[in-house]
Amino acid sequence: MITFMNNSDSEEEPCNERTSLMSAGSPPVPSYQDGLQASEAGEVQAHRKRRAGSSRGPNNTAGGEMSGSGVPVRESAPENEEEELTLKYGAKHVIMLFVPVTLCMIVVVATIKSVRFYTEKNGQLIYTPFSEDTPSVGQRLLNSVLNTIIMISVIIVMTVFLVLLYKYRCYKFIHGWLILSSLMLLFLFTYIYLGEVLKTYNVAMDYPTLFLVIWNFGAVGMICIHWKGPLQLQQAYLIMISALMALVFIKYLPEWSAWVILGAISIYDLMAVLCPKGPLRMLVETAQERNEPIFPALIYSSAMMWTVGMAKPDTAARGPSQQTWDAAEDGREHHRSPSHADSQMSETRGPVPTRPVTSLEELEEEERGVKLGLGDFIFYSVLVGKAAATASGDWNTTLACFVAILIGLCLTLLLLAVFKKALPALPISITFGLIFYFSTDNLVRPFMDTLASHQLYI
């Protein structure tokens, strides 16, 4: 779900709070190693930040001071200036999300179109036990609906399990789970992916080289995601693991089930985040009660200088639930890792951004960032990848789905600017994507093909 989540503590904040498109204003994540000493200062800053509309949770003292000094002036700025700032940063942050989402989709589509492995049918996940090989349409539809029900129930069970774990403070368990799943994703799935790519291009690679490459890739990935690393490297790793997860889903979900699951999961996302009894919302509220950040989830952070080590409750909640699907789903647990990395990275970034910040605007620019849950990346890429895989060799369908998803993301961000609370990122984009997929594949394709065969232009 979306990172813009401005958690429900916004009710306590003054009403001129701008939590806008920026990342969640939840209190900063204390790193598990460093204890909570930073969190006090961080929380104060975070509250002030939230009031000023900045999204980052200053986990570093240096940043905190600067933001502290920066905030009061900003608050005294006229209302419309804040609004203008919000919107102006809004456009920039929309682009800051467009770029990684586009990159992830490009990786997935490029792989789908070139590596045959990911479009071959080689069995199914155990969470979609019903096969779609039946001749009758009704039976196939029924099977896909049953598959979806099973999948979504697994997700719900895991989310509730996660909420319970969080309620009873089993942080070590969650932390360990996350590390395990990111290990599996960074090593095993990368190994499989590399193997298939090498097979496709008929490139020979000896085992020592392979071991070296995979080891370095995986180790640096674990460090970047769970600990500290350059922001762009962390972003690149998050994009890569989202792409890997999406590829696994595209391979192992049968066709009709995939579409029904996409639809169902956007409805689930909507309900889990917005309904008062939704597991994700409960997670947020629990975290609020305890006045601690929702434990780190897999979030893509595009913060320019300081990464916000905020937990994104939605992704957090969804992460583990989906992770338990199967090995492939461990990618979702990766969702957790970045947030850990975020918090720790922010700690280390404290001393780093000591370059003089001359103007407030500059400070604000450097502070703000947006975050998007990795689950959203994954499902966007699944939709576009499925379109690329199954749309009868047509590129127009893929492109139409891509534009639809970007527009959905844009609209979601706009709604976020209006409502200033946690919003699910999936429903609008997936709805548009599904509509465009089916209509382009069935209506537009014959029309454009007929036009092209006569070399007619409209």
Partner 1 sequence: VGAAVFFGCAAIAFGPAAALVLLTVAAEPLRVIVLVAGAFFWLLSLLGASLLWALSVQLSGREDAALLLPGAAAAVLLQELCRFACFKLLKKADEGLAMLSEDGRSPISLRQMAYVSGLSFGIISGVFSVLNILVDSAGPGTVGIHGDSPYYFITSAFLTMALVLLHTFWGVIFFDACERRRAGGLGLVVGGHLLVSGLTFLNPWYEASLGPILILTLCTGLWAFGTAGGSFHNVLKCLSCKR
Of 301 and 397, nearer to partner 1 (C-beta) is 397
Count of residues that interact with partner 1, criterion CB under 8 A? 40
116 belongs to the binding site for partner 1 (CB under 8 A)? no
286 binds partner 1 (CB under 8 A): no
Asked if residue 450 binds partner 1 (CB under 8 A), the reply is: yes
Q: Which of 9, 314, 342, 376 is catalytic?
A: 376
Residue 376 annotated as catalytic: yes
**Closest separation in Å from C-beta 243 to partner 1:** 21
Q: Residue 155 Cβ, how far from partner 1 at the closest point, in Å?
A: 30
94 scored as a contact of partner 1 (CB under 8 A): yes
Residue 399 touching partner 1 (CB under 8 A):
yes
**Closest distance of CB 418 from partner 1, Å:** 11
Which residue type, as a one-letter code, is found at position 58? Answer: P
Choose among 20, 21, 88: nearest CA to 372.
21
Strands 299-301 and 371-373: antiparallel
Among 11, 81, 133, 361, binds partner 1 (CB under 8 A): 81
Stretch that binds partner 1, among 61-69, 206-214, 247-255, 443-451 (CB under 8 A): 443-451
Q: Rule CB under 8 A: is residue 407 a binding residue for partner 1?
A: yes
Active-site residue identified among 269, 314, 330, 394: 269
Tokens representing residue 99 in the block? 């770029």
Q: Residue from 13, 65, 75, 83 that binds partner 1 (CB under 8 A)?
A: 83
Query: Which residues, at least 6 apart from 127, have a Cβ–Cβ distance to it below 8 Å?
Result: 147, 150, 151, 154, 325, 326
Least CB distance to partner 1 at residue 436 (A) = 7
Based on CB atoms, which residue is closest to partner 1, 60 or 397? Answer: 397
Interface segment toward partner 1; rule CB under 8 A; list 49-57, 119-127, 137-145, 450-458 = 450-458
Q: Which residue's structure tokens are 């989709």?
A: 105
Is residue 9 annotated as a catalytic residue, yes or no?
no
User: With respect to partner 1, which residue has the nearer C-beta, 21 or 287?
Assistant: 21
Q: By C-beta, is 30 or 408 nearer to partner 1? A: 408
Residue 222 in contact with partner 1, rule: CB under 8 A? no
Rounded to the nearest whole angstrom, what is the least distance from the CB of residue 86 to partner 1 in the complex?
8
Task: Assess 395 for contact with partner 1 (CB under 8 A).
Answer: yes
Q: Which residues on neighbouring strands pair with residue 372, listed in sequence order?
A: 2, 300
Instruction: Supply the residues annotated as catalytic.
Output: 269, 376
Contact residues for partner 1, defined by CB under 8 A:
78, 80-81, 83-84, 86-88, 91-92, 94-95, 98, 394-396, 399-400, 403-404, 406-407, 410, 436, 439-440, 443-444, 446-452, 454-458
